Each structure stands twice: as C-alpha cells, then as structure tokens.
C-alpha cells in the first residue's frame, strides 16, 4: 500500500542518507586500474553519492501518486464537484506514471528498506545495488545510458530465449499455413474464431510451462536476472497463481495504454511525436517492440505507431469502441481473446519475421 509509506520530508531523507557519502579511495580498490575502469568507477561513485537525492525524488513521486489517487477517486464518486478527468477521462501520462512508479517500487524497495532498517551496515545494500544496478535499481537511480543498455539487453533475451517458445500456445491444424497470410490477417483469423472454439490457448488456460516463458518475456518480477538464473528460479520457486496474476496485470496495462494512446492520437495527430525519448523507450519495452542498441529512438517511434495502427484496426474488426474513463472502465466488457492476442503480438511478429527471412534465403 503506497499510502503506508512513512511521511518523511526531504530533510529527513538527507539525514537518513548522510552516511552514504564514501570517499573514492574506499571503493577504488574494487576496480582494476585501467582508463576504462576508472571512468566506470567515477560513474559508479557519482551514482552512489547521489543516492540520497534520487531517494528524495522517488519519495516526491510517491506523494504525487497519492495525490493522483485522491483526484481519481473524486472524479469517480463526487458528482457534485467533478474535476477535469470526470468527462474526458484520466490523461495517459497519469496512468503511465502510476504504472511505472509501481514497477519502480517493486525493484528498489528491498534496497531502500535494507538501507534504512539496518544501521550503518545498511550502506552495503546500496553499494551492492550499484554493483548490479539492472537487478536492484529503478530508473530514478540510473543514467539514460544504463536505461538504454538494460532495455537492449532485455530485448536480446526475449529474441534468443522466449519468443520462439511462446508461439507454441497457438493451436494450429495440420493444414494451416502462416506463409499465406500476413501478421494482421493472422490476428484476424484468430479473432474470428474466438469463443468456445478459440484457436489460441487463452491466458487463463495456459499450462505452467508456457506461463513461465510468457512471464519471463514480459518483464515480470525477477526477469531482470540472466535467463540461466531466472528460468530455474521461476520453474522451481514461483507459484503458478502468482505468475498468472502478474501476466494478467501486464496484459491489462498494455491494453489500457494502447487504448489511451490511440485515443490521444485520434484527437491530436502530433500526440505520438510529442512523447519524450524516455516515454517511447518505456512504451516499446512494455509491448516487446524492438529496442536494441542498433534501433534508434526514431525507429522505435515508428514501430510504436505501426503497433497502435494494428491494434486500432483489430479493435475496429472486433467492434470494440474506445472507452473513456478510469482504468477499470477501459477494461470492462473487452474481449479477453483480443487482449491475449495483443499480449502475444511480440512473439507473433518474431515468428513471421523469422519465417520471412527463411523464405527469402531459400529463394535467393
């Protein structure tokens, strides 16, 4: 419960974090003395010493989260005094801010709690966190270069380990031939037969093996570990009910964000071009769109636009109408098969692109 977060001022946070100012000589021995490693050390040292400031930023964002919660509740319950969100719906930037903050807290809270609860020795939690930032720190404590690097690493893991196995959840008959249709036509075929004879395994029906692969490809907790660690950990330690609930939450987040971005794009043609580079990267990571180091932000923006155009056409094909309102109202009455297909889109794209490359090489 975010409201249970202790009421601390910036002054309190600076006092708590005061022991966090080490000298460079204390930690330089951890790094071999080469020009590259000295630069890495300086970056690492700067991040460690700026931890109190970034912790204060995170605390301020939690305050904003609580304020937006009050505003959302008043827009839904207080008919006599409606706010700007009552009729127009909650802005996409607010919904996305809340989603990202919850994700950030799930990563960094163990480090913050360990630092605050354990006197003096709590500093070791921060030092270890910055030695493995991808697994222990949220975006408030990372540089843009690190955020970009970790997104590319996630993308490479998805391509190498997960997408091929996820496509197995589609029940295909012997005579089916995906080479004769494109990506959109394939999705429409699956939507056409949704219902009792659905040609895909619904999320609620997926066996544990497929759930684990899907969870690892969707950025659920602990997926920022290397696959050689994450796969056995999920296989032997994480309950199926927990995995399914986390995937359902991510599926709903993607669907709602798609709806809100499409709504903004239809009302303002420049809406997508006004997203910041960070917004575009986060949107691509959430949807499993390409975000390797070879992919520029401009190319990511184009990929996001193509994705939204495809989802918009699938919504029209499925007679889904854009809903205006809060998170739950957008999800209410939506076709679960459509939401599942949107969730599976990264693996479907990967399958079609791989087959296209195979066919092209064969012809050549």
pLDDT of residue 177: 54
Number of H helices, E strands in the chain: 18, 0
Tokens 């989260």, residue?
65
Q: In DSSP terms, which residues pair with 170 in a beta bridge?
A: 200
Count of residues in the chain = 364
pLDDT of residue 11: 46
Start-end of H helices in 20-91: 24-27, 35-49, 51-77, 85-88
Structure tokens at 155: 């993308």
Average pLDDT per 10 consecutive residues for the chain, totaling 364 residues: 47 47 49 53 77 88 89 62 58 89 87 74 74 84 90 86 68 52 80 60 80 82 77 88 90 90 82 90 92 92 93 82 52 73 86 56 38
- State the Cα–Cα distance between residues 48 and 255, nearest whole angstrom: 37
> What is the Cα 328 distance to its own chain's centre?
19
User: Sign of the C-alpha dihedral, residues 309, 311, 316, 322?
Assistant: negative
Backbone torsions φ then ψ of 170, nearest 5 degrees: -80, 125
Return the biggest CA–CA distance within the chain. Answer: 69
> What is the Cα 245 distance to its own chain's centre?
15
- State the Cα–Cα distance between residues 195 and 7, nearest whole angstrom: 49
Q: Are 92 and 264 in contact (CB under 8 A)?
A: yes
pLDDT of residue 278: 93
From residue 94, give the alpha-carbon distance in Å to each of 65, 69, 76: 9, 10, 16
Structure tokens at 30: 């951890």
pLDDT of residue 285: 92
Q: In DSSP terms, which residues pair with 200 in a beta bridge?
A: 170
Q: Quick one: DSSP state of residue 195?
A: S
Start-end of H helices in 268-326: 277-287, 297-317
- State the Cα–Cα distance between residues 304 and 51, nearest whole angstrom: 33
């Amino acid at each position: 419960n975010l409201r249970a977060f202790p009421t601390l001022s910036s002054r309190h946070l600076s006092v708590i974090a005061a022991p966090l100012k080490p000298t460079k000589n204390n930690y330089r021995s951890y790094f071999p003395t080469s020009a590259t490693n000295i630069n890495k050390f300086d970056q690492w040292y700067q991040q460690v010493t700026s931890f109190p400031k970034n912790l204060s930023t995170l605390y301020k964002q939690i305050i904003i989260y609580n304020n937006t919660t009050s505003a959302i509740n008043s827009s839904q319950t207080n008919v006599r005094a409606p706010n700007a969100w009552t009729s127009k719906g909650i802005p996409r930037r607010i919904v996305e801010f809340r989603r990202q903050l919850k994700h950030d807290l799930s990563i960094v809270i163990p480090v913050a709690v360990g630092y605050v609860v354990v006197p003096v020795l709590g500093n070791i939690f921060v030092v270890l966190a910055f030695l493995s930032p991808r697994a222990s720190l949220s975006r408030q404590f990372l540089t843009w270069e690190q955020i970009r690097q970790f997104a590319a690493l996630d993308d490479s893991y998805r391509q190498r380990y997960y997408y091929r196995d996820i496509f197995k959840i589609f029940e295909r008959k012997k005579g089916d031939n995906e080479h004769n249709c494109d990506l959109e036509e394939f999705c429409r075929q699956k939507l056409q037969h949704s219902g009792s004879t659905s040609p895909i395994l619904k999320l609620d029906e997926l066996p544990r093996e497929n759930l684990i692969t899907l969870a690892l490809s969707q950025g659920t907790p602990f997926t920022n570990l290397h696959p050689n660690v994450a796969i056995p950990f999920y296989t032997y330690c994480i309950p199926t009910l927990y995995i399914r609930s986390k995937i359902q939450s991510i599926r709903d987040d993607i669907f709602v964000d798609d709806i809100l971005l499409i709504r903004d794009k239809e009302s303002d043609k420049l809406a997508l071009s006004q997203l910041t580079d960070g917004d575009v990267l986060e949107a691509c990571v959430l949807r499993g769109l390409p975000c390797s180091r070879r992919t520029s932000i401009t190319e990511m923006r184009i990929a996001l636009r193509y994705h939204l155009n495809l989802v918009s056409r699938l919504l029209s094909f499925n007679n889904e109408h854009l809903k205006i309102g809060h998170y739950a109202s957008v999800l209410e009455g939506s076709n679960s098969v459509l939401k599942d297909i949107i969730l599976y889109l990264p693996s479907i794209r990967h399958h079609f692109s791989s087959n296209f490359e195979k066919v092209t090489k064969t012809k050549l």
